[in-house]
Every structure is written in C-alpha cells, then in structure tokens.
Amino acid sequence: MFQVNLITDQNRLILVIDDAKPETIQHETNRLVDIMEDITNLVIGIEKVTVKQYLGDNGTIEQDNSGTDVWFYVIDPETEKILDRNSTKIQR
C-alpha cells in the first residue's frame, strides 16, 4: 500500500538564499536536503528552485537575480504525511 500527499499552499515553505544564483543552488539541492534533514529529523522535498522574489515598494512582485528561493515541503517520517507550515514540528 502507498500513500499520496497533495502539496497545498499550507505545506509550502520557502528558503531564501541571498547572494547565490538559482543555477548554483540547483546543483546543490541534494546537499541542501541532507543538511535540512540532519537538522530537523524530518523528510524534506524540494518542489522548485527559482529567482528570489520580494514585494517591492509599490506593492508589485520584484525579482532579485542574485538570490534564490527554494520552495520545499516537509514530511513527518512517522506518519508519512506532509506537514503544514504552522506545524509545531516545523516551528521547532
């Protein structure tokens, strides 16, 4: 038997990495996952790696090509369910 988890906005987390272009981070995703899993004891899945985005002064979404947003989700290895970003396990 297997379980299917659907990623929703409540599950998505973004790690912002300043001063590193997406192309550089894309080559290091396995290492990044290993580090985050070691620290949290949770299972990490990377959804996508994109150019850093932020809300500009005029309320529009701007891009910073020198930074990276890593979109990821977290799975509890005990329940095999994707955690909400407000989960106490993530907050720790």
pTM of the predicted model as reported, rounded to 2 decimal places:
0.87
Return the pLDDT at 40. 93
What string of DSSP letters covers 40-82? HSSEEEEEEEEEEEEE-TTS-EEEEEEEEEEEEEEEETTTTEE
Whole-number pLDDT of residue 38: 96
In Å, how far are 23, 24, 84 from 74, measured between CA atoms? Answer: 23, 23, 8
Which pLDDT does position 62 carry in this prediction? 95
* Residue ranges for the chain with pLDDT beneath 70: 1, 3
- Write down the pLDDT at residue 6: 84
